[in-house]
Chains A and B, each alone.
Chain A
Amino acid sequence: MTMAPGRKPLLDVRGLSVAYGGPARQTHVVRDVSFSLGAGEALGVVGESGSGKTQTMLAVLRLLPRGGTVTAGSVRLDGCELLTLPAGEMRHVRGRGIAFVSQDALSALNPAMTVGAQIAEPLIFNEGMEEAAALARSAELLDHVGIPGAKARLSSYPHQLSGGMRQRVLIAMAISCRPKLLIADEPTTALDVTIQAQILRLIDDLRRELNMALVLISHDLGVVAGVADRVAIMYAGRIVETASAGAVFGHPVHPYTSALLAAKPRLDRPAERALRPIPGLPPDPAQPPPGCAFHPRCVHRIARCAEELPPLSPAGGDRLAACWLAGEFAESKAAAVNGTESNTHAGPVIAGTGEIAVEDLSVRFPVRTGVLRRVTGTVRAVDGVSLSIPRGETLGLVGESGSGKTTTGRALLGLAPMADGRIRYFGRDFAEIKNDPGVLPRLGQMVFQDPYGSLNPRMTVGAALGEVLSVHGLARETGVAARVNALLDSVGLRSEIALKHPHELSGGQRQRIAIARALAIEPRFIVCDEVVSALDVSIQGQIVNLLMELQRERGLTYLFISHDLSVVRHISHRIAVMYGGKVMETAPRNRLFTAPRHPYTHALLSAVPVADPKIERGRVRVEPRGEPPDPADPPPGCRFHRSCRFAVERCKTETPRLERTDDDHLVACHRWASDEVQTALTATAIPVGERP
Chain B
Amino acid sequence: MQRLSSNTAFVAGILLLAGILAAALFADALAPHDPLLANPSVRHLRPFTPGHLLGTDELGRDIASRLLFGARLALLVAVVPTLIALAVGGLIGLAVGYAGGAWDSVVMRVFDVMFAFPGILLALGIGAALGPGLGSMIIAMVVVTIPAFGRVVRGSVLAAKEEQYVEAARALGYSHWRVAMVHILPNVLGPIVVYATLQTGRNVILAASLSFLGLGPQPPTPDWGQMLSTGRTALAIAAHVATIPGLAIMLLAIGFNLLGDGARDLLDPRMKRDQP
Contact = CB atoms under 8 A, between A and B. Distances in A.
B37 interface: no
Interface stretch (A90-98, A206-214, A436-444): A436-444
A286 to B, nearest CB: 10
Given A437-B173, A442-B173, A445-B172, A471 B178 contact: yes
A149 interface: no
Interface in B227-276: 273-276
Interface in B155-185: 163-165, 167-175, 178, 182-183
A438 B174 CA distance: 8
Tell me if B's interface is mostly helix, strand, loop or mixed: helix
B276 A20 contact: yes
Contact of A471 (B173, B273, B274): B173
B173 A517 contact: no
Nearest to B163: A453
A437 B274 CA distance: 45
A65 interface: yes
B220 interface: no
A454 B172 contact: no
B39 interface: no
B164 A450 contact: yes
A55 interface: yes
Interface residues of A, number: 36
Given A55-B276, A68-B276, A457-B187, A517 B168 contact: yes
A67 B274 contact: yes
B171 A413 contact: yes
Interface string A464-507: 00011001100000000000000000000000000000000000
A155 interface: no
B186 A514 contact: no
Contact of B276 (A29, A437, A441): A29
Using C-beta atoms within 8 Å of the partner chain, give the interface range for chain B: 20 to 34
Nearest to A19: B276
A100 interface: no
Nearest to B173: A441
A55 B172 CA distance: 40
A285 interface: yes
B3 to A, nearest CB: 14
A27 interface: yes
B168 A446 contact: yes
Given A441-B172, A442-B173, A446-B168, A458 B275 contact: no
Interface in A647-690: none
Interface string A57-85: 00000000111100000000000000000
Nearest to B274: A67
Nearest to A448: B164
A458 B187 contact: yes
7 contacts: A67-B273, A441-B171, A453-B164, A454-B164, A471-B172, A517-B168, A517-B172
Interface of A: 20, 27, 29, 55, 65-68, 285, 373, 410, 413, 415, 437-438, 440-442, 445-446, 448-450, 453-458, 467-468, 471-472, 514, 517, 521
Given A446-B167, A446-B168, 7 more contacts: A20-B274, A437-B173, A438-B173, A454-B165, A471-B175, A472-B173, A521-B173
Interface of B: 105, 163-165, 167-175, 178, 182-183, 186-187, 273-276
| Nearest 3 CB-CB pairings of A with B | A441-B173, A67-B274, A453-B164
